[in-house]
Amino acid sequence: MDSRFDADSESGENRRSETGVPPKASIAALFWTFFRIGAFTIGGGYVMVPLIQRDIVERRGWIDKDSFVDVLAIAQTAPGPLAVNTAVYVGYMLRGVWGAMASTAGCILPSIIIILVVAALFDQISSFSYVQAAFAGIRPAVVVLIVSAAIKIGRPVVRSRVELALAAAAMVLVAFVRVSPALVVTAAALYGLFAPSVSGNGGSDA
């Protein structure tokens, strides 16, 4: 279980868990997992990427690595907060519409509770410098966590030169040219659909 990364790096496209059947997620487990993720999504939705990766892909094994990338693609193409979009999609994949409702509720509940408390105590907290100092410390760690997520997610996905070029182009367009991520994902999807081959096997997963 511990060699979660290197063990299956050879198996190529068709990467299901050993048995081929992902473990069943209960509605309650979905709710609590996303509650935990929501409570720690600090400093923008992307922090949630390593958290979800750890909880749902590695620890619980609810979805495999390739599907996780697809979830992220949809989450970035649809409007709305990344965290909420991801919760909806993962919940739906695992337990249908009710699963989507449970994971969404779990994901937004910590925010609602915390913000209501903060709003009620607004004047005291805005001058509370330890809180701001703590968040100044969290932000650099967020950068590291996102980089580590990019590496983990990227390793099985970016294997050919074309894939590397696509990833690099997407990064530059979004980070420096400020193109909307939704546009970039859509363009990349169209490229995959119409270009001869991206992954070297005709783009087929089967």
Partner 1 sequence: MILLNLYLSFAKVGLFTFGGGYAMLPLIESEIIHGRGWLTVREFTDIVAIAEVTPGPIAVNSATFVGYRLAGVLGGIMATLGVVTPSVVIVLALAMLAKRFENSIGLARVKSGMRPAVVGLIAAAALTVARVALVDLKSMMIAAVAALLVFKVKLDPIVVLAVSGLLGAIIFS
Among positions 115-144, residues that touch partner 1 (CB under 8 A) are 115-116, 118-120, 122, 125-126, 129-144
Nearer to partner 1, 7 or 171 (CB): 171
Q: Are 95 and 102 in contact (CB under 8 A)?
A: yes
User: How is residue 45 written in tokens?
Assistant: 């939705």
CB of 20 to partner 1, least distance (A): 15
How far the first Cα of the chain sits from its last, in Å, is: 26
CB of 29 to partner 1, least distance (A): 17
Task: Tell me the C-alpha distance between 105 and 180, whole Å.
Answer: 27
Cβ count near 195 (within 10 Å): 12
Task: Tell me the C-alpha distance between 82 and 73, whole Å.
Answer: 10
Q: Is 106 in the site for partner 1 (CB under 8 A)?
A: no
Instruction: Among 29, 47, 56, 57, indicate the residue that binds partner 1 (CB under 8 A).
Output: 47
Residue 15 buriedness (CB in 10 A; 0-12 / 13-18 / 19+)? middle
Task: Tell me the C-alpha distance between 182 and 171, whole Å.
Answer: 13
Task: Tell me the C-alpha distance between 66 and 154, whole Å.
Answer: 10
* Total site size for partner 1, rule CB under 8 A: 114
**DSSP reduced 3-state for 103:** helix
Nearer to partner 1, 29 or 88 (CB): 88
Nearer to partner 1, 7 or 190 (CB): 190
Nearer to partner 1, 19 or 129 (CB): 129
Site for partner 1 in 59-88 (CB under 8 A): 66, 69-70, 72-85, 88
CB of 10 to partner 1, least distance (A): 18
Site for partner 1 in 139-198 (CB under 8 A): 139-150, 153-154, 157-158, 162-164, 166-175, 180-182, 184-185, 187-193, 195, 197-198
